[in-house]
Structure 1
């Protein structure tokens, strides 16, 4: 059992070093942020989400519902804090709902 655990850790370390060496971290962050948005907001909000995009520390969320956009705008700071916490780093400084 301990052999498998060490092997899993070794693979994780290999993947992280590969990502760093090939400058893929920004691309991986962009993919992960979409996943985090879905996890934090839930299926109700995700169904109204057209696009999740990260540009220069600004998270741009394109929504199909103006009512939902207005509701979420009241909690922008909280959403940014939750996303950064889930990502494990201060990746997002601003949230734009369009």
Structure 2
């Protein structure tokens, strides 16, 4: 059973404590990465994106267009930097386009 605190805490602090005590941060990072990809890449790229998955600091993106995959491969480092900046922390170290 969780301990009870008599002093007042903000909701933000309570949620942070809950996330860290239940090891939920990796799942939240996966959702944040997916949302950041959708927001940053726009409709043109999202129409050809079939799957986005984050595993151990590596982002796997499956694309249905080989031409787009080749085009995006030239800017991998920039894409990683933009996604990490949008998330607010360095979650992605490597980008694999499939």
- Secondary structure, in 3 states, of the residue corresponding to 1:89? coil
Which structure features the higher share of helix residues? 1
The residue that corresponds to 2:88 in the other structure is 88
Unpaired stretches in structure 2, ≥5 consecutive residues: 1-8
Mapping for residues 5-84 of structure 1, pairs under 5 Å: 10-84=10-84
- Secondary structure, in 3 states, of the residue corresponding to 2:10? helix
Give the total of aligned pairs.
Answer: 90
TM-score of the pair, normalised by structure 1 = 0.86
Runs of 4+ that moved beyond 6 A: none
Unpaired stretches in structure 1, ≥5 consecutive residues: 1-8
The residue that corresponds to 1:6 in the other structure is none
Deviation at 1:46, TM superposition (A): 0.9
- Secondary structure, in 3 states, of the residue corresponding to 2:53? strand
Alpha-carbon distance in 1 for matches of 2:11, 2:47 = 34
